[in-house]
């Protein structure tokens, strides 16, 4: 999630909003359980084309926690160009918080469109060229979301709202 979060930073997470009926929105930073296999890198739940992001996760939830940014939600059509998610044919508003995607083979381009399944969210890290995220292991089921990160409390020099 660099540059938004540094390795070792600690955040507060609102664990109630998603449990009380709220849904994450595009741009939210969310803590969640990824699909099994995400901890080891590329493990998509289905066979996919090389020019396509992973359209479905493995069916089992991993026990670890990840933190990423929501870039697409249920029913959205998604393709990725230069590390930028193109949702329903439209690029997002200016994303000044991301580190640009560079270099061949860095997961910058997945031009074949996928549709995010019902009750799933597509996650990407802010360091687009070096993030292990939904591009490789698929969208995350809503039930696996823990909550929205909203405040950094450690280290002291980075205390503040996200």
Per-residue pLDDT tens over the stretch 81-136: 988 999 999 988 877 777 778 765 567 899 999 999 999 999 999 998 888 999 99
Identify the residue with better confidence: 141 or 97. Answer: 141
CATH code for the structural domain at 10-161? 2.10.109.10
Domain ranges (residues) in the chain: 10-161
Which strands, in side-by-side order, build the sheet including 84-87?
A: 84-87, 77-81, 110-115
Residue 140, phi-psi category: left (phi > 0), alpha (psi -120 to 50), beta (remainder): beta
Q: What is the spatial distance between Cα 125 and Cα 46, in angstroms, rounded to a whole number?
A: 22
pLDDT of residue 79: 96
User: Residue 80 in 3-state DSSP?
Assistant: strand
């Amino acid at each position: 999630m660099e540059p938004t979060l540094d390795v070792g930073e600690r955040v507060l997470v609102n664990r109630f909003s998603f449990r009380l009926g709220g849904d994450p929105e595009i741009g939210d930073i969310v803590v969640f359980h990824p699909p099994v296999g995400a901890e080891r890198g590329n493990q998509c739940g289905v066979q996919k084309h090389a020019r396509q992001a992973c359209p479905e996760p493995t069916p089992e939830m991993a026990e670890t926690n990840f933190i990423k940014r929501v870039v697409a939600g249920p029913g959205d059509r998604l393709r990725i160009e230069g590390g930028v998610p193109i949702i329903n044919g439209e690029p997002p508003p200016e994303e000044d918080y991301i580190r640009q995607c560079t270099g061949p083979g860095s997961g910058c381009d997945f031009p074949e469109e996928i549709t995010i399944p019902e009750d799933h969210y597509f996650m990407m890290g802010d360091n687009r060229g070096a993030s292990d995220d939904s591009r490789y292991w698929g969208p995350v089921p809503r039930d696996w979301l823990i909550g929205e990160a909203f405040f950094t409390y450690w280290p002291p020099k980075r205390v503040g709202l996200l």
